[in-house]
C-alpha cells in the first residue's frame, strides 16, 4: 500500500485516505486559536494607537464679532484663533474668514479664506471684486466660485448664526 497505512482485514473495509488525521485536526485547531489570539491583541492595540483620530472632529462655532462691525456693502476679513483637540493633544488653530451680506445685513455669508488648491490664504481685492490666491494666481468670485487657476472647488461656505448681536461661523 502506497499510503503507509497498515493493511485492514477485509471485513473491516478500507482506509478512508481523504479523512483528516488527529494531527491534522490539532494543527488546524491550534492555527485557528492563534489567529483568534492575534486578533484579540491587535484590535485593541490598534484602537489604542489610533486614539480619537478615527472619530469625526466636532464642529466649533467661532465668534466673528458684533453685527455692526460687518458693513453690508463690503467684504470683511476676520482672523480667528481657537483651540481644538485632536487624538492626543489640544492644538491652536488659526484661520481667516471673509464675511459679507447681499441683503443689507439681514443675512450673512461666511467663506473660509483658505484656497482649495493647496491651502494658501486668499486675499480680497476690493477694486477687482474678487479673491486672489498669491500662490498660483487663482481667482475666486465674491461668492467663492472659482474664476481661474487650478483650484478644484470653490471656497468653502461656512454656516453662520447670530446670537446676542454677535456673528458666529461654524468651522
Domain ranges across the chain: 18-52, 61-170
Spell out, as residue ranges, where the chain has pLDDT lower than 50. 1
For 61-170, which CATH class?
mainly beta
Provide the 3-class DSSP secondary structure of residue 54.
helix
pLDDT of residue 115: 92
Q: How far is CA 64 from CA 85, 134, 135, 147, in A?
A: 21, 24, 26, 27
pLDDT of residue 86: 66
The pLDDT assigned to 129 comes to 93
For residue range 2-32, list pLDDT tens digits in order. Answer: 567 778 787 877 777 677 778 888 999 999 9
pLDDT at 1: 46
- The answer to whether 133 and 120 have CB atoms below 8 angstroms apart is yes
Q: Which of 84, 18, 26 is nearest to 55 (CA)?
A: 84
Q: Are strands 157-158 and 160-163 parallel, antiparallel or unpaired?
A: unpaired
Bridge partners of residue 63, in order along the sequence: 168
Amino acid at each position: 500500500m502506497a499510503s503507509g497505512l497498515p493493511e485492514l482485514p477485509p471485513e473491516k473495509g478500507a482506509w478512508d485516505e481523504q479523512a483528516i488525521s488527529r494531527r491534522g485536526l490539532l494543527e488546524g485547531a491550534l492555527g485557528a486559536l492563534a489567529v483568534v489570539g492575534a486578533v484579540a491583541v491587535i484590535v485593541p492595540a490598534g484602537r489604542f494607537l489610533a486614539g480619537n483620530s478615527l472619530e469625526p472632529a466636532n464642529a466649533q462655532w467661532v465668534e466673528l464679532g458684533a453685527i455692526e462691525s460687518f458693513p453690508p456693502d463690503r467684504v470683511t476679513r476676520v482672523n480667528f484663533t481657537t483651540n481644538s483637540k485632536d487624538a492626543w493633544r489640544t492644538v491652536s488653530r488659526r484661520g481667516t474668514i471673509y464675511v459679507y451680506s447681499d441683503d443689507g445685513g439681514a443675512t450673512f455669508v461666511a467663506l473660509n479664506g483658505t484656497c482649495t488648491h493647496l491651502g494658501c490664504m486668499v486675499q480680497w481685492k476690493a477694486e477687482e471684486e474678487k479673491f486672489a490666491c498669491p500662490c498660483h494666481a487663482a481667482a475666486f468670485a465674491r461668492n467663492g466660485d472659482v474664476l481661474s487657476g487650478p483650484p478644484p472647488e470653490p471656497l468653502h461656505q461656512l454656516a453662520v448664526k447670530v446670537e446676542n448681536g454677535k456673528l458666529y461661523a461654524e468651522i
